[in-house]
Amino acid sequence: MTDDVIRSLTISQRALGTRSVVLIHHTNCGLESITEEFRHDLEMEVGQRPNWAVEAFRDVDQDVRQSMQRVRTSPFLLYTDDVRGFVFDVKTGMLREIDPA
C-alpha cells in the first residue's frame, strides 16, 4: 500500500464522510515478480535513485493483511474499525475475503 492510498482514504473520510475501507488486491500481480533491485537498476540507468519504494511482495494474502494493518494504524484516518481486505482471483473471477489475523 502506498502513501497515495492513505492520502486518498484520509480525504475520503475527512472531506466526504466515508467510514468503511475495503482493500482489494489481485492475483498474478506484476509486483509479485519485481524486487527492490528494480530501484537500483533504475538508478544505474538514469543516474538518480527514485525516492519511492517499489512496494513489491511475494504473498498476496500477507500483503492484504499488511495493508489492512497500515490502514488500522494510520494516525490520519478517523475510522479504522471497519477495514476489510479481499483478493480478486483473475483466473476464476472470485473475490476471497482475507482474515486479518
Which segments are annotated as binding site for Zn(2+)?
A: 26, 29
Provide the 3-class DSSP secondary structure of residue 49: coil
Annotated binding site: 26, 29
SS3 15: helix
Residue 63 to residue 21: CA distance in whole angstroms: 16
Q: What is the dihedral of CA 46, 50, 55, 58, to 10 degrees?
A: 40
Q: 77: closest CA among 85, 86, 68?
A: 68
Grid coordinates belonging to 96: 476471497
